[in-house]
Chains A and B, each alone.
Chain A
Amino acid sequence: MTTRRNFLKGALAATGAIVGSGGTAGVQARETRKVPPEALGLLYDATLCVGCKACVAACKEANGNPPEFNTVDQLWDTPLDTSGDTFNIIKMYRNGTMETKDAETNGYSFMKTSCMHCADPSCVSACPVSAMTKNPVNGIVEYNPDKCIGCRYCVLACPFGIPKYQFNDPLGRIGKCELCRHRHKDGHYSACAEVCPTGATLFGRTEDLLAEAKRRLALKPGSITTYPRGRLRPAQEKALQGKDTGEGNKARHGWRHEPDQSYEGVVGNYQQHVYGEQEYGGTQVVKLSGVPFEKVGMPKLPPYSSAATSETIQHTLYGGLLMPIAVLGALTWVAKRNVKPEEGEEE
């Protein structure tokens, strides 16, 4: 009896260990991942946005998505939110008399809603079949419908509510922005940035976009500055602008040649906050706004990702299958003593 009691104690201790160590015991907590150095992204500046929704239309066209109707006559594409068929939308903030653009009171503002391309995306961590992956070089969060089982865990997991599912299609897919990665091979970048008439949506390397955002925040509101449009070109590339071939082509890293589209405009009254620099450990799409971000629908998020917490728990419990094997060993030992082959039923 004494020995059996010891076995039980051992089994219990092991059991306690497997479930009790939900924290960090023994295993290093996984840090929130960082944006890769060559990450691509967008800079959306709400103070430059005029709400024309050219980006919404261009996104639909570039991704072959059908229009969505929310008006009686069903003439125009009128999506109310991103969906399995709408990867990008411009939402509007309104307050009081709506007199002043980018003012919190009696004002209005626009806000772009599309994938933020997180440094450490919840959707990628959640996906059981690697249908949602993060490109190791440019950091684009990519979707592969040929692997996707349609479980919609990514839809549930994303703190920005971005991956969406086509509920009304028996072969429905997940839909989300992939920064138009299918157009990159032709030298095209994100369609939303390509068509934006004011440069409110700018495509580029996240590092450059972040620097541009900070440059704008440092300017005096009301002063005049130069705003690029389309693709944000780093300084070394600008020096070679105009050269279609040779050095110019190389400097563009394969992006197609465009004339300089920058223009002079008035500096907006910004919130001193680059949204996406810290949120969830950083995102490759960053945003500027005149109205506080929570008011324009961007959630307040901690500076670390939930994927890190979730994976720390999982790998603490199951890393190398050490804990399960130890517990199985203990259970087998105990069960072997307690289970009789015929369970005393056959005599």
Chain B
Amino acid sequence: MSAQHHAKPAPVGGPLFNGVTLIAGILIAIMAVILLVRFFYGLGSVTAMNDGYPWGIWIVVDVMIGSAFACGGFSVAMLVYIFNKGEYHPLVRPALLASLFGYTLAGIGVVFDLGRWWNVWNMYWPWSVNLNSVMFEVAICITLYIVVMWIEFSPVVMEKYGLYELKKKIGKYMFFIIALGTLLPMMHQSSLGTMWVVLGTQVHPLWQTPMVPLLFLLTAVIMGYAVVLFESCVASSAYRRSIEMNLLTPMAKVMLGIVAAYIVVRLADLLVRGAFGLAFEMTLESVMFWFEMACFVAPFFVIGTEAQRRNPARLFIGGILLMLGGSLLRLNGFLIGYETGGGYQYFPSLPELMVTVGMFATEVLGYIVITRRFPVLPREA
């Protein structure tokens, strides 16, 4: 059914050493030094985290937002294999690669942030786990999902090394892996939102709602498509390839449909809870709320029409706006709209920021190395 004839994926080729990889390498080296200090002198030696803001950007940006950016693989796979839109198939591998990296790094990023990382095995130890904990569910799902994604991506590695027999064997069960790879992100991306429910009144009412799992799930799917738009544009311009506009244009329409649904759910929830009035008070929270909402509404003016969606520059901007909107939702609920009392303040320190930058540099470097050496992007005609 999905056997349309697409260009087979092929390595892009070209040098691994260039300006971009050099800068990425330097940023990664800086991150390594900062992490060394962190592991020898404690979290307080490099971060601005404190007891009023015990979670900083390492969790909220690197893990929460980073993993949502990594939903491209899940969003596209859902379109192709669940909704049987086989024409989007060429987008699967590059999106999956970005997801694989995003999630693997998010998983590693968690360890940087764990104050007692040597005890992390307790997360998987039956006599330690707490089934009531939202974080436990998130951790198990993410761990499983990383394994599932590596299996989903394994045919790429097998093609590279000529392991066609093994690839065939795994291919027989791939439908189950794909189903699992669709279910797991639905579970943990929604639960990442549920994580702030237990914070109760400490989270501003503009964000504290029992509907938050649905908000997180919808925005994770939206951000997945937005990242694909963003990446396709960047990859095309960096590798001087043609943009798959025939795929991106209709996909952007699907994405806007979900954005519309999200806006309806978001506003309905605020109205039902009677919290919408708070958006009209002059507070930092209300300003950030409108900033967040604007990022979801603006794309309708940027890529609202079919003609606009045929313009790669507009798709690129639309993608960035939605990536920003979803990021703000997470940042607002966990940091800006969080208030524990006692006059604590938090703004990330420079070394803290450099670790986040280093994590993104790792992602870029990995993406370049793999697309240049492994069959991920469609072969250019």
A314 with B134, Cβ < 8 A, contacts A172-B43, A344-B4 known: yes
Is the CB of B178 closer than 8 A to any CB of chain A?
yes
B-side contacts of A340, CB under 8 Å? 1-3
State the CA gap A152–B49 with chains docked (Å): 11
CB distance from A264 to the nearest CB of B (A): 37
Residue interface mask A88-132, B partner, CB < 8 A = 1: 000000000000000000000000000000000010111111110
A157 with B198, Cβ < 8 A, contacts A129-B123, A151-B135, A342-B168 known: yes
A-side contacts of B40, CB under 8 Å? 170
A341 in contact with B130 (CB, 8 Å): no
Contact with B199, one of A129, A168, A299, A306 (Cβ below 8 angstroms): A306
Contact with B54, one of A11, A165, A343 (Cβ below 8 angstroms): A165
State the CA gap A4–B201 with chains docked (Å): 46
B-side contacts of A300, CB under 8 Å? 201
A131 in contact with B122 (CB, 8 Å): yes
A20 with B84, Cβ < 8 A, contacts A129-B119, A335-B179, A343-B89 known: no
CB distance from B338 to the nearest CB of A (A): 8
B82 in contact with A151 (CB, 8 Å): no
A338 in contact with B119 (CB, 8 Å): no
Contact with B129, one of A130, A334, A336, A341 (Cβ below 8 angstroms): A130
Is the CB of A234 closer than 8 A to any CB of chain B?
no
Residue interface mask A157-195, B partner, CB < 8 A = 1: 101010011111111110000000000000000000000
CB distance from A220 to the nearest CB of B (A): 34
B-side contacts of A48, CB under 8 Å? none
A334 in contact with B137 (CB, 8 Å): no
A-side contacts of B202, CB under 8 Å? 156, 159
**Can you name the residue of chain B whose Cβ is closest to the Cβ of A307?**
B198
CB distance from B270 to the nearest CB of A (A): 15
CB distance from B184 to the nearest CB of A (A): 9
**Can you name the residue of chain B whose Cβ is closest to the Cβ of A164?**
B51
A310 with B190, Cβ < 8 A, contacts A332-B179, A335-B178, A339-B2 known: no
State the CA gap A306–B200 with chains docked (Å): 5
Is the CB of A54 closer than 8 A to any CB of chain B?
no
A313 with B42, Cβ < 8 A, contacts A331-B182, A344-B3 known: no
State the CA gap A148–B125 with chains docked (Å): 12
B-side contacts of A147, CB under 8 Å? 119, 122, 128
Is the CB of A37 closer than 8 A to any CB of chain B?
no
Is the CB of B214 closer than 8 A to any CB of chain A?
yes
B-side contacts of A335, CB under 8 Å? 81-82, 175-176, 178-179, 182
B-side contacts of A213, CB under 8 Å? none
CB distance from B221 to the nearest CB of A (A): 11
B134 in contact with A310 (CB, 8 Å): yes
Is the CB of A149 closer than 8 A to any CB of chain B?
yes
Residue interface mask B19-48, A partner, CB < 8 A = 1: 000000000000000000001111111010
Is the CB of A8 closer than 8 A to any CB of chain B?
yes
A152 in contact with B115 (CB, 8 Å): yes
B-side contacts of A167, CB under 8 Å? 42-44, 47, 49-51, 115
B132 in contact with A343 (CB, 8 Å): no
State the CA gap A19–B193 with chains docked (Å): 12
A-side contacts of B214, CB under 8 Å? 19-20, 22
User: Which residues of chain B in 87-141 are interfacial with respect to chain A, using CB atoms and an 8 Å cutoff?
Assistant: 89, 113-117, 119-120, 122-123, 125, 128-130, 132-137, 139
A159 with B200, Cβ < 8 A, contacts A130-B130, A149-B119, A165-B51 known: yes
A152 in contact with B82 (CB, 8 Å): no
Is the CB of A309 closer than 8 A to any CB of chain B?
yes
A-side contacts of B47, CB under 8 Å? 167
CB distance from B62 to the nearest CB of A (A): 14
B-side contacts of A148, CB under 8 Å? 115-116, 119
A172 in contact with B42 (CB, 8 Å): yes
Contact with A125, one of B43, B55, B133 (Cβ below 8 angstroms): B133
State the CA gap A341–B195 with chains docked (Å): 38
Is the CB of A265 closer than 8 A to any CB of chain B?
no
Is the CB of A81 closer than 8 A to any CB of chain B?
yes
B-side contacts of A328, CB under 8 Å? 179-180, 183
State the CA gap A333–B81 with chains docked (Å): 11
State the CA gap A149–B199 with chains docked (Å): 19
Is the CB of B172 closer than 8 A to any CB of chain A?
yes
User: Which residues of chain A in 298-346 are interfacial with respect to chain B, using CB atoms and an 8 Å cutoff?
Assistant: 299-302, 305-307, 309-311, 313-315, 317-318, 324, 327-328, 331-332, 334-346
State the CA gap A15–B82 with chains docked (Å): 12
Is the CB of B52 closer than 8 A to any CB of chain A?
yes
CB distance from A310 to the nearest CB of B (A): 4
A129 in contact with B42 (CB, 8 Å): no
Is the CB of B217 closer than 8 A to any CB of chain A?
yes
CB distance from A141 to the nearest CB of B (A): 14
B201 in contact with A122 (CB, 8 Å): no
B84 in contact with A4 (CB, 8 Å): yes
CB distance from A87 to the nearest CB of B (A): 12
B129 in contact with A128 (CB, 8 Å): yes
A156 with B55, Cβ < 8 A, contacts A130-B130, A341-B172, A342-B168 known: yes
Interface residues of B (CB under 8 A from A): 1-6, 8, 39-45, 47, 49-52, 54-55, 80-84, 86, 89, 113-117, 119-120, 122-123, 125, 128-130, 132-137, 139, 164, 168, 171-172, 174-176, 178-180, 182-183, 186-187, 190-191, 194-195, 197-202, 210-211, 213-214, 217, 338, 340-342
Interface residues of A (CB under 8 A from B): 4, 8, 11, 15, 18-20, 22-23, 81, 83-84, 122, 124-131, 145-153, 155-157, 159, 161, 164-173, 297, 299-302, 305-307, 309-311, 313-315, 317-318, 324, 327-328, 331-332, 334-346
Q: List 12 A-B contacts (CB under 8 A).
A: A19-B190, A124-B130, A124-B132, A125-B133, A128-B135, A129-B122, A130-B129, A170-B39, A307-B198, A310-B134, A332-B175, A337-B84
Given contacts A83-B51, A161-B342, A324-B183, 13 further A-B contacts (CB under 8 A): A4-B84, A8-B82, A124-B130, A129-B136, A148-B116, A148-B119, A152-B54, A155-B54, A159-B200, A300-B201, A338-B86, A338-B175, A344-B4
